[in-house]
Structure 1
Amino acid sequence: MFDIGFQELILILVVALLVFGPRRLPELGRSLGRAMREFRRATEEFRSTVETNLHINEPDPIPAAPPEPAATQPAAAEAAPATAPLPDSGLTTYGEGSAEAPGEPYLAQRGSRLFHARNCGWAGRIPEPERLYFKRVSEAKEQGFTTCPVCDPWEPA
């Protein structure tokens, strides 16, 4: 890990024994162990928070394939005008997809720490049962949510 050999480790332990003495050395070892354990726990909590909020480990949802026209209806296909609208594939561009959502302009995911504007690209990834809606930014902040760094929700004065 630190690329320290056995001889260097022995030298460090002897110097520590001389500097701190035999009585304080076990106490220092315990406090160093506690500090390392706390540091590992804090970094793991930070990593899990980032993964939860950004959905890093979850695969992207597979979009539904558009329905293929049936081969048994060639006459109907010829009779249709050439400018007929294409069927909706269910794919949305960034910022769209929640037009039919309730009137509240801000939303968050249950168990998350971020809240988004309704037209944020990340808001479309939140499943409907897990959504919490807010009418004002201040309402979301009062409940402990932080603004999304992508859409940076704000409300005009």
Structure 2
Amino acid sequence: MLGVGGSEIVFIALIFLIIFGPGSLPKMARDVGRFVTEARRAVDEFKEEITSAADDDEDDHRKKR
């Protein structure tokens, strides 16, 4: 995962815990989860649009023959 091992992830988590405190970490985790979900949804929609446009172009090209 991006060249980050398990010990680095634990270290980063400890730094976040020290900086932000245990109270705000669950809210931050939820916000990150929502962001990731929305980003994946946007990427999926983009892929669908590209695929649909490519299919439409292919259909138009076939009709012209």
TM-score (norm 2): 0.83
Per the alignment, residue 16 of structure 1 pairs with: 16
CA RMSD of aligned residues (A): 2.2
Aligned length: 63
Residue 14 of structure 1, CA deviation: 0.5
Structure showing greater Rg: 1
Alignment gaps of 5+ in structure 2? none
Structure with a larger share of its residues in strand:
1
Aligned mates of 2:41, 2:19 — CA distance in 1: 30
More helix by proportion, 1 or 2? 2
Q: Percent identity over the alignment?
A: 32
- Structure 1 residue runs of 5 or longer lacking an equivalent are 56-108, 115-120, 127-157
Q: Give the Cα separation in 2 of the matches to 1:10 and 1:123.
A: 54
Shift of 1:4: 1.1
Tell me the equivalent position of 1:33: 33
Specify the alignment match of 1:4 in structure 2: 4
Structure 1 segments (4+ residues) deviating >6 Å: none
Q: Which has the higher contact order (CA 8 A, sep 6+)?
A: 1
